Amino acid sequence: MAIVNYVNKEIQFKVVYYGPALCGKTTNLTYIHGQVAEAHKGELVSLATAADRTLFFDFLPLNAVVIKGFKTKFQLYTVPGQVMYNATRQLVLRSVDGIVFVADSQWDKMEENVESFKNLQDNLAEQGSSLDQLPYLLQYNKRDLPNVAPLHYLEYLLNNRRVRVPSFEAAATTGQGVFASLNAISRMLLQKFAREHDTMAGNRQQPAAPPARIVLSGIAAATLRR
Amino acid sequence: MQAIPIITFEAANQLLNALTDYLEKSEASFALVIDRGGSILSQHGDIPAGSDMTILAALAAGSYAATRELATRIGEADFSTLHQEGQKMQLLMSAVDEDVVLVTGFGPQTALGLVRFYAARAVPQVAAIIQDARAAQRPAVPIFTAADVAAAFPR
């Protein structure tokens, strides 16, 4: 749940990049860290093995848009993708506000994608949450490789829940789709926050938010290196 | 899991007073109140130069969560405190409640026993403030609306 600090006029959100091993979660954060201006980012911290595989998590704090005088802060985490680190994934998911599920588009990774997506749902259920309650989107990564599955097949495999969510093609090594995904999840989180707080404040119910579009504004415009 | 409070001016002042009193008595360097998701609820004291408290909070939350998991694996419900000792600085993490942790940093100017003693006294104070903040009513006016968000993300 987002934390609101009236003294500092800040709202903090926790976003977790989830997905199978070697799908490009850390590459997303590395690319973002490389592109965002110093004033809008903290250090990128990686708790990794000697072989540069994520052991616990990667962490990147970002300062994004200011809305009505409130600074919005996004704390980006990755989980370790390897199957044996499930206990660690559960810890990183704690208090999560939104999820970017990074799928590996290569044909031979489809089973791992589906298993990881199922694992995400199981782990959320463990902490009394679900994808019905959290904003999330799908990022189909590695679209620049030759042996990738078509988009409609990935949608069929992963974007088949009752409510379809935004999905993005990406090649995280070159940055394609990275900020589009980040921008969209940020917008989804802020819209959910606005709706919930408006309701809690006793005001009229806001209409459902429109699906996020690919816009390189918001976070990207506010934070990219100039 | 209980909802984390909105940190109002009143709650922020109460937390700051509690941490000020704790640091004066324990002679520790700094203290953070963090949620177990890694976000800072309050902080006070002399932050070591070059330290990013946001990162410290995220790492402390991860470390505490891993320790708690270890506890459950050996049949304990929780380890209520976690102590890390370096050459110059030490960290003491104390569970405030299910979702909040008090992190204290201190150097050779004080002693672990003293910090532990006063941390044990500060924890219930912080817990009471957090509990009151959870129970407090939400502000009558929303911070921003969906229209404000849409304006911040122009198409």
B39 HSE (CA, 13 A, CB side) = 27
For residue B69, the chain A residues in CB contact (below 8 A) are 87, 91
- CB A98 within 8 Å of CB A15: yes
Closest residue in B to A200 (Cα–Cα): B138
Q: Give the per-residue pLDDT at A210.
A: 36
Confidence of residue A126 (pLDDT cuts 50, 70, 90): very high
Provide the pLDDT for residue A53.
82
No. of helices (H) and no. of strands (E), chain A = 6, 8
Give yes or no for residue A122 having a pLDDT over 60: yes
**Residue A209 scores a pLDDT above 70:** no
| Minimal CA separation from B43 to chain A, in Å | 12
CB pair distance less than 8 Å for A194 and B149: yes
- Residue B39 touches partner A, C-beta closer than 8 Å: yes
Is pLDDT of A106 > 90? yes
* Residue B26 belongs to domain with CATH number: 3.30.450.30
Does B121 fall in a domain?
yes
Residue B109: what are its φ and ψ, rounded to 5°?
Answer: -70, -15
Instruction: List the structure tokens of A48.
Output: 């990794």
Residue B152: inside a domain: no
- Report, as an integer, the average pLDDT of A190-216: 56
In a domain, B140, yes or no: no
User: Among A45, A95, A201, whose Cβ lies nearest the Cβ of B37?
Assistant: A95
Residue B147 forms part of a structural domain: no
Positive or negative: CA dihedral A34, A90, B7, A99: positive
What is the number of domains present in chain B?
A: 1
Q: What is the mean pLDDT of residues B25-34?
A: 96
Kindly report, residue by residue over B62-82, the tens digit of the pLDDT: 898 888 888 888 998 878 899
User: What's the confidence (pLDDT) of residue B112?
Assistant: 96
What residues have CB less than 8 Å from A110, skipping those under 6 apart?
Answer: A149, A157
Q: Is residue B48 a part of any domain in this protein?
A: yes
Per-residue confidence band for B140, with pLDDT thresholds at 50, 70 and 90: low
| Chain B residues whose beta carbon lies within 8 Å of the beta carbon of residue A209 | 146
Tell me: pLDDT of A206 over 60: no
Cross-chain Cβ contact A45/B3 below 8 Å:
no
The ipTM assigned to this model is 0.81
* pLDDT at A159 > cutoff 50: yes
Side-chain half-sphere exposure of A131, counting CA atoms within 13 A:
22
Q: How sure is the predictor about B137, in pLDDT bands with cuts at 50, 70 and 90?
A: low
Per-residue model confidence (pLDDT) at position A204: 43
Domain limits for position B118: 9-135
Contact status, residue B83 vs residue B60, Cβ threshold 8 Å:
no
What is the identity of the amino acid at A71? Answer: K
In a domain, B16, yes or no: yes
Please answer yes or no on whether A194 and B39 come within 8 Å at the CB atom: no
Residue A25 · residue A58 · CB < 8 Å: yes
Closest CA–CA distance from residue B133 to any residue of chain A (Å): 12
Q: Please, which residues have CB within 8 angstroms of residue B147's CB and are 6 or more apart in sequence?
A: none
The torsion angle over the Cα atoms of residues A151, A154, A156 and A160, rounded to 10 degrees, is -120
Domains and CATH numbers, chain A: 3-204+213-223 (3.40.50.300)
Residue A79, amino acid: V
Q: How is A25-82 classified by DSSP, letter by letter?
A: HHHHHHHHHHHB-GGGB---EEEE-TTS-EEEEEEEEEEEEEETTEEEEEEEEE---S
Give A134-154 pLDDT, tens digit per residue. Answer: 999 999 999 999 999 999 999
